[in-house]
Structure 1
Amino acid sequence: MIIGTIHGVGLGPGAADLMSVRADRLVRGARHVAYFRKAGRPGRARRLVDGMLRADLVEYAMEYPVTTEIAVTDPAYNDQLAAFYAECTRHLTAVAQTGEDVVVLCEGDPFFYGSFMHLHARLAGRVPVQVVPGITGMSGAWTASGRPITWGDDVLTIAAATLPEEELTRRIRDTDALVVMKIGRHLPKLRRAIAAAGRMEAAWLVEYAAMPEQRVVPLTQTGDVAPYFAIVLIHGQGRRP
């Protein structure tokens, strides 16, 4: 029995010409394409590949049952997402068992804060799974800032703004260079943590890195809400010749 392969394909930070050659080849050749999206939205990963797909394409939109409607600490949050990923796994496995390959479109890199990780953990061992790495959103963000994120022996910390405020403050204070993901409505808390760590003047907000809407501003000049595609940076100032 021939079993198809599930490909988790990293599309990079948001510009089609920043995809790898392998990602481009797989996307253009795929008959089955799956992608995550919020209900009622087209999905940015899907929009990124407009004009690249086959005419006989079979699409599978995986719509999150919940995003920010309930707290991640609510048991219902994990219950709903676990059931969602299980159903997506069932569908993708069924397609692979017909001998067809499936390309799962992934923003950034599939193994860096990506939803595909949850599918990979369930698919591995059941059907063949391959991952194509992509340029991360944070790489796009520090490139957009026009400055290196690290120098010499700088230690880089990558944190999620969903962490408790005291934990954020400690990690911001104790690192040389910083990347903060998953900001959204947590921006006021993150701003307080950065201020408490004494690093507000060094912080930058990058929105929609590598996309047409790209915006780079000092954190002191932002409002209280950041879009989903937003990253806060503090550049390292370490050793250099």
Structure 2
Amino acid sequence: MAQTQGRIICAGLGPGDPDLISVRSDRVIRSGRHIAYFRKAGRQGQARRIVEGMLAPGAVEHAMEYPVTTEIPFDSPDYNRALAEFYDDWAARLHRLVAAGEEVVVLCEGDPFFYGSFMHLYVRLKDLVPVEVIPGIPGMVGCWNATGVPITWGDDILTVLMGTLPEAELVRHMAGSEALAIMKTGRNLPRVRRALAAAGRLQDAWLIERGTMPGQRVAKLADVDAEDCPYFAIVLVHGHGRRPVVGAEE
């Protein structure tokens, strides 16, 4: 009997609510024999939590545990070295499974090609084995829908920022865009708050924690305690651009 060709399928899970997983990802996850996902050591992992109750009986789980998360600075050579070795190791493990004819489903929150950890495996494996990527709704999309306010209007410029940027860079970008989505807040939230204040945008900023998930919180950032720095959170500033005036006479 000919050996079945293996492959890797990365299933984008969307912003966190299982109901927002695409039909295609849902189908692949439920039928998967090998399910791989990233997580912090000792934790269930956000991706695994989203698919709770969806895995087929007997599915083999591969928990890819980060060697570091926030223990050392992200721009440290040791941090980069540890993560490079981690991705090299898991790329090799998944490669072996595929070479044996197995199909491996890798779970990824949000969209895999939008700041997703899977990208680091993708660049290592895409020229070696068949890799398919199923898009997902980015987490920030779920968050701005949670506010009940459109994020952009007309000609608004939307800028996506990382809270890890230097404060001066944050201020510069914040002052030059109408709408903002700021990721990787957590312990960087005090810096983000100061930058928003310096750019004159703090009063318009919202903090969305666990958007679309149980325990979701939507609050004006200016009203949130300065010491409150949730990990699964994003900061948004909505645009107010060009639009037809409501109720305008012809």
TM-score, normalised to structure 1's length? 0.98
* Residues 1:239 and 2:242 aligned together: yes
Distance 1:92 1:107 in 2: 19
The residue number in structure 1 matching 2:68 is: 66
The residue number in structure 1 matching 2:176 is: 174
* Residues 1:215 and 2:221 aligned together: no
| Misfit runs of 4+, over 4 Å | none
Distance 2:117 2:75 in 1: 18
User: Which ranges of structure 1 fall in alignment gaps of 5 or more residues?
Assistant: none
Q: Which residue of 116, 119, 131 maps to 1:117?
A: 119
The residue number in structure 1 matching 2:13 is: 11
How many residues of Structure 1 are paired with residues of Structure 2 in the alignment?
A: 241
Residues 185 and 75 from structure 1, CA distance in 2 versus in 1: closer, same or farther, beyond 3 angstroms?
same
The residue number in structure 2 matching 1:133 is: 135
The residue number in structure 2 matching 1:230 is: 233
1:228 Cα deviation (Å)?
2.3
Q: How does 1:151-162 map to 2 (within 5 A)?
A: 151-162=153-164
> Does the 8 Å contact 1:186/1:225 carry over to 2?
no
User: Which ranges of structure 2 fall in alignment gaps of 5 or more residues?
Assistant: 245-250
Amino acid at match of 2:243: R
State the identity %: 59
Amino acid at match of 2:62: Y
1:155 Cα deviation (Å)?
0.4
* Residues 1:145 and 2:143 aligned together: no
Amino acid at match of 2:230: P
Distance 1:160 1:190 in 2: 9
1:226 Cα deviation (Å)?
2.5
Q: Which residue of 198, 201, 204 maps to 1:202?
A: 204
RMSD of aligned alpha carbons: 0.8
The residue number in structure 2 matching 1:24 is: 26
Q: Which residue of 41, 44, 49 maps to 1:42?
A: 44
Amino acid at match of 2:181: V
Distance 1:186 1:152 in 2: 31
> Does the 8 Å contact 2:146/2:211 carry over to 1?
yes
The residue number in structure 1 matching 2:193 is: 191
Give the structure with higher Rg (CA). Answer: 2
Amino acid at match of 2:172: R
TM-score, normalised to structure 2's length? 0.95
> Does the 8 Å contact 1:2/1:97 carry over to 2?
no
Distance 1:28 1:225 in 2: 37
1:154-191 alpha-carbon deviations (Å, 9 max, x no partner): 00000000000000000000001000000000111100
> Does the 8 Å contact 2:187/2:231 carry over to 1?
no
Give the secondary structure class of the aligned counterpart of 2:68: coil
Distance 1:72 1:45 in 2: 22
Distance 2:15 2:229 in 1: 17
Distance 2:208 2:102 in 1: 39
1:123-153 alpha-carbon deviations (Å, 9 max, x no partner): 1110000100101110011000000000001
